[in-house]
Chain A
Amino acid sequence: MSDAGSDQSEGRVGLGRRFWRSVFRGPLYPRDDRERKWVVVNNLILHFRPVQLPARSLKYTHTFGLGGMSLVLFLLLAATGVLLMFVYEPSPERAYESIRALENEVFFGKLVRNIHHWSANFLIAVVFLHLLRVYFTGGYHAPRQFNWLIGLTLLLCVLVSNFTGYLLPWDQLSYWAITICTGMIGYVPLIGEWLQGVIRGGPEIGSATLINFYTFHTTVVPVLLIVLMAWHFWRVRKAHGVVVPRAPGEELEEKPESVLALPNLLMREFAVALILVAFVMAFSVFVNAPLDAAANPGMSPNPAKAPWYFVGFQELLFHFHGSFAVVVIPLLVAAALVLLPYLRYDHQGEGVWFVSLRGRQLGVAAALIALVVTPLWIVLDEYWIDYAAWLSGLPPVLREGALPFAVLLALIVGLYIAIRRRFSASRVEAVQAMFVLLGVAFAILTITGVWFRGAGMALAWPWNL
Chain B
Amino acid sequence: MSDRRPEVETKGPDSTVGASSRRSFLWKIWLGLGGLAVLEYIWLAADFLRPRGSGPADDAESIIIAGAVERFSPGSVTAFPTGKFYLARLENGGFLALSRECTHLGCTVPWIDDEARFVCPCHSSAYDMRGDVLNPPAPRALDNYAVRIENGIVKVDVSRPLKRRSFEYAQIVLP
If A301-B121, A457-B122 touch, does A203 touch B54 (CB 8 Å cutoff)? yes
User: Is B162 among interface residues, defined by CB-CB distance under 8 A?
Assistant: no
B106, A179: Cβ atoms closer than 8 Å: yes
User: Is A456 among interface residues, defined by CB-CB distance under 8 A?
Assistant: yes
B53, A458: Cβ atoms closer than 8 Å: no
A297, B51: Cβ atoms closer than 8 Å: no
B107, A200: Cβ atoms closer than 8 Å: no
- With beta carbons under 8 angstroms apart, the residue of B53, B107, B122 that contacts A208 is B53
Most chain B beta-carbon neighbours within 10 Å: one of A183, A299, A317? A183
User: Is A212 among interface residues, defined by CB-CB distance under 8 A?
Assistant: yes
Q: Which residues of A contact B120 (CB under 8 A)?
A: 300
Q: Which residues of B contact A186 (CB under 8 A)?
A: 105-106
A175-223 residues with Cβ-Cβ distance < 8 A to B are: 176, 179-180, 182-184, 186, 197-198, 200-203, 206, 208, 212
- With beta carbons under 8 angstroms apart, the residue of A182, A203, A212, A300 that contacts B49 is A212
B139, A322: Cβ atoms closer than 8 Å: yes
A271-310 residues with Cβ-Cβ distance < 8 A to B are: 297-304
CA distance A184 to B106 in the complex (A): 9
Q: Which residues of B contact A376 (CB under 8 A)?
A: none
User: Is A81 among interface residues, defined by CB-CB distance under 8 A?
Assistant: no
CA distance A201 to B48 in the complex (A): 10
User: Is A318 among interface residues, defined by CB-CB distance under 8 A?
Assistant: yes
A198, B137: Cβ atoms closer than 8 Å: no
User: Is A67 among interface residues, defined by CB-CB distance under 8 A?
Assistant: no
- With beta carbons under 8 angstroms apart, the residue of B50, B54, B122, B136 that contacts A300 is B122
Q: Which residues of B contact A317 (CB under 8 A)?
A: 105, 123, 137
B106, A180: Cβ atoms closer than 8 Å: yes
- With beta carbons under 8 angstroms apart, the residue of B106, B108, B123, B124 that contacts A298 is B108
User: Is B104 among interface residues, defined by CB-CB distance under 8 A?
Assistant: yes
Most chain A beta-carbon neighbours within 10 Å: one of B50, B52, B137? B52
A300, B108: Cβ atoms closer than 8 Å: yes
CA distance A212 to B109 in the complex (A): 27
A388, B52: Cβ atoms closer than 8 Å: no
User: Is A241 among interface residues, defined by CB-CB distance under 8 A?
Assistant: no
B81, A304: Cβ atoms closer than 8 Å: no
Give 8 nearest A-B pairs by CB, closest first.
A183-B105, A302-B121, A456-B124, A197-B51, A300-B107, A183-B106, A304-B122, A202-B53
Q: Residues of B with Cβ closer than 8 Å to A?
A: 49-54, 81, 84, 100, 104-110, 119-124, 136-137, 139
17 CB-based A-B contacts, threshold 8 Å = A179-B106, A180-B105, A183-B105, A184-B105, A186-B105, A202-B54, A208-B51, A297-B84, A298-B81, A300-B109, A300-B122, A301-B121, A302-B122, A304-B107, A456-B123, A456-B124, A458-B124
